[in-house]
Amino acid sequence: MPSRRLALERAPDEVLCHAFLDGEEAAFEVLVRRHRSLVFSLVRRYTTRPEDAADLTQAAFLRALEASRRVFARFTPAGPAPFRAWLVRIALNLAKNHARHGQRWRPVLVEAANDEVAEAPGESAQEGLERAERARRVREEVLTLPRRQREVLTLRVDAGLAFKDIAETLGITENNAKVQFHHAVKRLKARVGEPEEMS
């Protein structure tokens, strides 16, 4: 049994999707573990609190699970399964709905701000607080970007997608995706300086 679990952990997404269709429930668990941090990073851009991002992450995987048997059946066994791109679209839609309904302007609680302070080795408490404040300011500025710029930025920076994949996900041209990203980064630099994650 451990060897089967190890085989699943090493399997590409397309194998896991078809294994899940064949009744291997653990295959979907591997997909969740593999892509959870990606989804969290993506939806975090649309929230002010880590708790909201965690809820949206869980909702994205629940939505994916509900549609999985229908969608996975369309993935060709021989070709790559577009699971990641499909999951990113689900997460992005949930995040946009969350932001659209005014949730993004809820005040950040002190406990939530504390969660943002990562304990980097050799970093003082003051440095950690300053970094957390900078991250908060960047997130707030990202939320003020025009919708398309924000979408392209999050897909590029948080999801790590190539411009070609971003274009396909959003139904725009690759050149348009590059232009939107350029304008988003330029605007952020003007507002908060060089964001570390984009430098």
Mean pLDDT within 143-149: 87
Q: How far apart are CA 41 and CA 36, in angstroms?
A: 9
The whole-number pLDDT of residue 90 equals 92
Residue ranges matching CATH 1.10.10.10 in the chain: 116-192
Give the tokens for residue 108.
């950040």
93-122 pLDDT tens trace: 898 888 877 544 333 333 333 444 445 556
Give yes or no for a contact between 163 and 170, defined as CB atoms under 8 angstroms apart: no
Q: How far apart are CA 157 and CA 169, in angstroms?
A: 15
Higher pLDDT, 35 or 110: 35
pLDDT higher than 70, residue 82:
yes
Mean pLDDT within 55-60: 95
The whole-number pLDDT of residue 4 equals 72
The whole-number pLDDT of residue 18 equals 84
Give yes or no for a contact between 26 and 3, defined as CB atoms under 8 angstroms apart: no
The whole-number pLDDT of residue 158 equals 78
Residue 15 DSSP code: H
Higher pLDDT, 111 or 60: 60
The whole-number pLDDT of residue 194 equals 60
168-198 pLDDT tens trace: 888 899 999 999 999 999 998 888 776 555 5
Q: How far apart are CA 8 and CA 15, in angstroms?
A: 8
The whole-number pLDDT of residue 61 equals 95
Architecture of domain 1-107: Orthogonal Bundle (1.10)
| Percent of the chain with pLDDT strictly greater than 90 | 25
Residue ranges matching CATH 1.10.1740.10 in the chain: 1-107
Architecture of domain 116-192: Orthogonal Bundle (1.10)
